[in-house]
């Protein structure tokens, strides 16, 4: 974050303020959100192994990816993929659909 702030000539504090003011989330939350959105698209549309999805979305380890996915989507990446395939729809991350394994 400091590198980005330096690059565009703003203080880190002010850059963080701008993120929160304009996007209603911190820079870290923005990064996680974008990574998980990309992961969902890959899980929905490819048969890549979960480990490959994690790497393509910027996670250094499958364990870190799986924990972040579980925390934010309320199900594992594998369960998300199974749900999408079975129901031909996408789950609401605020609810854990019945029958989804954790």
Q: What is the pLDDT of residues 2-55, one digit of tens each?
A: 898 899 999 999 999 998 999 999 999 999 999 999 999 999 999 999 999 999
Q: How high is the pLDDT of residue 99?
A: 42
User: Domains of the chain (ranges plus CATH)?
Assistant: 28-87 (1.10.10.60)
- Segment 40-91, tens digit of pLDDT: 999 999 999 999 999 999 999 999 999 999 999 999 999 999 998 888 766 6
What does the pLDDT read at residue 102? Answer: 38
The pLDDT score that the predictor gives to residue 100 is: 42
Helices (H), the chain: 2-8, 12-23, 27-45, 50-56, 62-73, 77-87
In this predicted structure, what is the pLDDT of residue 5?
Answer: 86
Long-range contacts of 50-53 (CB under 8 A, 24+ apart): 50/77, 50/78, 53/77
pTM of structure: 0.78
């Amino acid at each position: 974050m400091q590198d980005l702030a330096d690059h565009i000539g703003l203080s880190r504090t002010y850059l963080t303020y701008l993120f929160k003011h304009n996007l209603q989330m911190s820079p870290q939350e923005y990064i996680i959100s974008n990574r998980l959105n990309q992961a969902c698209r890959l899980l929905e549309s490819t048969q890549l192994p979960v480990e490959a999805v994690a790497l393509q979305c910027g996670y250094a380890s499958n364990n870190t990816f799986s924990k972040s996915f579980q925390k934010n989507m309320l199900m594992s990446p594998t369960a998300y993929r199974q749900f999408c395939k079975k129901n031909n729809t996408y789950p609401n991350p605020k609810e854990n659909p019945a029958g989804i394994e954790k």
